[in-house]
Amino acid sequence: MTIALVLLAAYVIDRILGDPRSLPHPVIGMGKVITALERVIRRLWSRPQSLQRAGVLLPLCVAGGAWALTAILLWLLSFISPWLVWIAEAWLISTTIASKGLKDAGMAVYVELHKGDIPAARKALGMIVGRDTTSLDSPEIVRGTVETVAENIVDAIISPLFYALIGGAPLAMAYRAVNTLDSMVGYKNDKYRDLGWASARLDDVANFIPARITALLLALCAWLLRLDWRNCLQMVKRDARLHPSPNSGYPESAVAGALGIRLGGENVYHGVASFRAYMGDPVRPMEPDDIIQTSRMMMLSSSIFVGLCAVVAWIWIGG
């Protein structure tokens, strides 16, 4: 019962507070550690083969360290009071979730589009995506926002809750470390191809099951919200595997199918065009309200999942 309450408390904390800038955030610390380790590794090894072997050290040190530090902290607090352990665990798990931050980021773009301020909408989108946004029109801004919110349902909500259910705050924090590593070094460019391969592969493995759970949750949400849940499942079956990521295609194709829009297409990164496989069929043009619908699907799917996690935890402990 304690695990169930901790998960619910963590989710409520994130929904209410999000990530207050006044409080220290573990991801910031992870980022600093990753940067420092990268410098050390590059000083010690410079050859591609050496960097490939050294790249395995990054997830071992960062994710393993995040797990160990969190476990040690909770163990030390247990000598003071079990209440402190529960409070600390709920707060730590909440820092691995970003439901409020994800919704707020998407709605910030929507507000500017609703006002007709395209330059401001481009700027707001540029805060949450890596693609160039300086020349995007309204439909492309909508596409970028919907894709980002949909993709991050897995990384920012379902996956951390999934690992919190299995291993509490230590495993949720280890997952967040893996995801942070992927976002910092998991690129297939000249700089990180050798050093970041292990981090990228581990992130793919970590999100494999949660991504597929997310697709099913989004189909359920589409049914509850009276969207096209049948097309949602059909697009997942048809298009999810076309995405370059083994996991991101599942939430993106699910949202595209439910809304009757087509995601994917050409993106520009640092002046270089890159084509992303299409997800869904263009039953109708994209419009700003698609951001609201995607946010609703995101919030509903996360609420359902945390409820399911709490039930599983209660039955698990009860058994």
How many folded domains does the chain comprise?
1
For residues 166 and 225, the answer to whether their CB atoms sit within 8 Å is: no
Calculate the alpha carbon distances from 110 to 2, 20, 97, 141 in Å.
39, 22, 22, 9
pLDDT at 193: 85
Q: What is the mean pLDDT of each run of 10 residues along the chain (319 residues)?
A: 89 90 82 91 85 88 95 96 94 95 96 96 94 94 97 96 96 96 86 88 96 98 97 98 94 98 92 91 96 97 95 74
For 23, the enclosing helix (H) or strand (E) is none
Residue for token digits 């079990």?
A: 82
How crowded is residue 108: how many other Cβ atoms within 10 Å of its Cβ?
18
The tokens for 152 are 């991050």
For residues 174 and 63, the answer to whether their CB atoms sit within 8 Å is: yes
Q: Contacts by 281-288 with C-beta closer than 8 Å and gap 24+?
A: 281/235, 284/260, 285/139, 285/261, 286/139, 286/142, 286/143, 286/146, 286/261, 286/262, 287/139, 287/142, 288/110, 288/113, 288/114, 288/138, 288/142
Domain residues for the domain of 278 are: 2-318
pLDDT at 317: 63
For 107, the enclosing helix (H) or strand (E) is helix 99-115
Angle, CA 176 vertex, CA 173 and CA 178 arms, to 5°: 115
CA dihedral over 157, 252, 102, 175, signed as positive or negative: positive
Closest CA to 243 of 280, 269, 216: 280
How crowded is residue 132: how many other Cβ atoms within 10 Å of its Cβ?
16
pLDDT at 319: 44
Angle, CA 200 vertex, CA 197 and CA 201 arms, to 5°: 85
